[in-house]
Amino acid sequence: MTQVLINGLAVGGIYGLLAVSFSVVYGVLGMVNFAFGEVFMFGAFGALVAAAANTQIAGADFAGPALPQWAAIGIGLVVGAIVGLLVERIAYKPLRNAPILSMLITAIAVSMLLRAVGTFLFGASQSPVPAPDLGEAFEVLGARIQPIDIVIFSVAIVATGAFWALVKFTPIGRAIRATAQDRDAARLMGIGVDKVISTTFVLGSVMAALAGILYSQKYGFAAAGMGFIPGLKALVAAVLGGIGSIPGAFVGGLVIGLTEELAAAYVPEGAAYRDVIAFGVLVLILWLRPQGILGRREVQKV
Site for other proteins in 109-128 (CB under 8 A): 109-113, 115-117, 119-120, 124-126, 128
196-225: contacts with other proteins (CB under 8 A): 219-221, 224-225
Question: Residue 119 or residue 166: which is nearer to other proteins going by CB?
Answer: 119
Which position among 85, 132, 173, 273 is part of the footprint of other proteins (CB under 8 A)?
Answer: 273
Name every residue whose Cβ is closer than 8 Å to that of residue 224 and which is 6 or more positions away in sequence. Answer: 41, 115, 118, 119, 121, 122, 123, 124
CB neighbour class for 170 (10 Å; exposed up to 12, middle 13-18, buried from 19): exposed
Least spacing, CB of residue 184 vs other proteins, in Å:
15
Q: Which of 6, 177, 28, 3 is nearest to 92 (CA)?
A: 28
Using CB under 8 A as the binding rule, whether residue 236 contacts other proteins is answered as yes
Please answer whether residues 199 and 172 qualify as being in contact, where contact means their C-beta atoms are separated by less than 8 angstroms: yes
Which position among 66, 100, 140, 158 is part of the footprint of other proteins (CB under 8 A)?
Answer: 100
Name every residue whose Cβ is closer than 8 Å to that of residue 254 and which is 6 or more positions away in sequence. Answer: 8, 9, 12, 13, 15, 16
Using CB under 8 A as the binding rule, whether residue 104 contacts other proteins is answered as yes
Please answer whether residues 134 and 151 qualify as being in contact, where contact means their C-beta atoms are separated by less than 8 angstroms: yes
Please answer whether residues 211 and 18 qualify as being in contact, where contact means their C-beta atoms are separated by less than 8 angstroms: yes
56-95: contacts with other proteins (CB under 8 A): 91, 94-95
Stretch that binds other proteins, among 41-49, 74-82, 155-163, 235-243 (CB under 8 A): 235-243
Which position among 96, 158, 283, 296 is part of the footprint of other proteins (CB under 8 A)?
Answer: 283
The distance between the two most distant Cα atoms of the chain, rounded to a whole number of Å, is: 61
Q: Could you tell me where the beta strands, DSSP code E, fall in 13-91?
A: 54-57, 60-63
Least spacing, CB of residue 163 vs other proteins, in Å:
22
Using CB under 8 A as the binding rule, whether residue 192 contacts other proteins is answered as no
132-151: contacts with other proteins (CB under 8 A): 137, 144, 146
Stretch that binds other proteins, among 40-48, 158-166, 193-201, 269-277 (CB under 8 A): 269-277
Stretch that binds other proteins, among 4-12, 164-172, 176-184, 191-199 (CB under 8 A): 4-12
C-alpha span between 262 and 166 (Å, rounded): 33
C-alpha span between 157 and 159 (Å, rounded): 6
146-175: contacts with other proteins (CB under 8 A): 146
